[in-house]
Amino acid sequence: MSYEDVLEQEFHPSNNMNISAEDRCKELVLNSGNNSSTIRYVNFTNNCCSEGWSFDEPEVSTVITEYNLVCSDAWKKPLAISMFMLGAIVGIYIGGLLSDRLVPESPLWYLSSGQGEKATTVLATIAKVNGKPHPGQHVVAVFKSNEESKLVDGEAKMEMSARYQMLQIITVPTIRLRILVASFSWLVTNMVYYALALNISAFSGDRFINAAISGLLEYPGIIMGSLIIQWIGRPVSLSLLMGAGGMCLAAAPFAQTVSAGFTTALVIIGKTFIIGAFYINFSITGEMSPTLLRNASIGVTSAIGKIGSFLAPYLMFLGETNRYLPFFVMGGLSCISSLLTILFLPETMKKVLPDSPADAERLKPVIRNCCVKRKTELVATGNL
């Protein structure tokens, strides 16, 4: 048996899967006796690879194989993706500024911010799109009068200013807590979604089929999220989907004892639930915020969410040390977010959306609403 035969048959990673991850990053040098026909003494010493890398699937070309992002350079894999996500954070901020300039607001929003002429223009546009006659100046004047009458007092005008409302969001404990909880939900959904989406090919089964199924199931996830919020409300829906997704991901490592395919199925199902939660974040964050700050609230929370996207590649990179750890982290954080959502975020379904921080503060979380409703029923029946 020749030198090359020993290395190929006994010590190539494709043939011997018991080689540790650390040893896969080193070459094996064969030291034998002087007899060229037989090997009398074999001793292997670990050295750094000096002649390039051999991959298990050399026919597959990826960024990793192209630039040899393995072993001592493996840390560059998550860095490259994280830099992309960092650019997305900047893009969200710039996009938010552009949307405020390009997207027309409601007449009430313009009146609230002291832009009566723009409110008149929007009313005329609404009438034209709906095939209605142009609202006469009298109608517009009455509308403006009714809305601006709420702002006659100087203090009321100050309360409706964007700067004052932003200060209220920061200083009012209830609103500040809700923004923090919503931001945490955005962070978790972004982190889990991108961690799974960018690593779906690492799971058992055909990588292309897994990616196709995972992508196609995003549509049911979005549809599920859009329907469920109409039936059971915003916080309950968000909490339910986050909790279900978290439990699927936390259970995925234990499913290995059943089959690798079962683990992959749990991961894809968990990702589908998280996609539904991702959709609901937009609704609940905007609806619980005052009129003038809805865009800003969504912009701030989604930007914080991109921190999760930035961390996602590093989370999956931990799996090279402990393959169970990323799933426990994703599952645990999702379940924590589920609990915080149901405890602190307000229900906005079939409610008048808040125009001011005071209106926003009056919205109650689901659990408190249930307690108040139950207490009212007991009082009405004389049982309390």
In terms of domains, do 152 and 218 share one? no
CA 63 from centre of chain: 25
Instruction: Tell me whether residue 169 is in a domain.
Output: no
Q: Which residues pair with 47 in a beta bridge?
A: 27
Instruction: Tell me whether residue 55 is in a domain.
Output: yes
The domain that holds 240 is classified in CATH as 1.20.1250.20
Q: Tell me the pLDDT of the chain averaged across its residues.
A: 75
**Alpha-carbon span 253 to 248, nearest angstrom:** 10
Range of the domain at 131: 114-159
- What number of CA atoms fall less than 13 Å from residue 58's CA on the CB side? 5
Using CA atoms, how far residue 85 sits from 51, 160, 312, in Å, is 34, 35, 10
Instruction: Tell me whether residue 36 is in a domain.
Output: yes
| Tokens 């749990």, residue located | 266
- Domain count of the fold of the chain: 3
Instruction: Tell me whether residue 261 is in a domain.
Output: yes
pTM: 0.70
In terms of domains, do 42 and 86 share one? no
In terms of domains, do 142 and 241 share one? no
CA neighbor of 113 nearest in space, from 124, 105, 123, 122: 105
In terms of domains, do 242 and 316 share one? yes
In terms of domains, do 331 and 235 share one? yes
Q: Which residues of the chain register pLDDT less than 70?
A: 1-63, 66-67, 72, 92-93, 95-105, 108-109, 111-114, 116, 135-166, 168, 201-202, 204, 368-384
Q: 308 and 186 in contact (C-beta within 8 Å)?
A: yes
What is the token pair recorded at 45? 């010493």
**Alpha-carbon span 26 to 32, nearest angstrom:** 19
In terms of domains, do 81 and 155 share one? no
Q: 220 and 312 in contact (C-beta within 8 Å)?
A: no
| Tokens 């300039």, residue located | 101
In terms of domains, do 39 and 127 share one? no
Extract long-range pairs of 150-153: CB within 8 Å, 24+ residues apart.
151/111, 151/112
| Tokens 């609704």, residue located | 283
Instruction: Tell me whether residue 120 is in a domain.
Output: yes
Query: How many C-beta neighbours within 10 Å does residue 120 have?
Result: 19
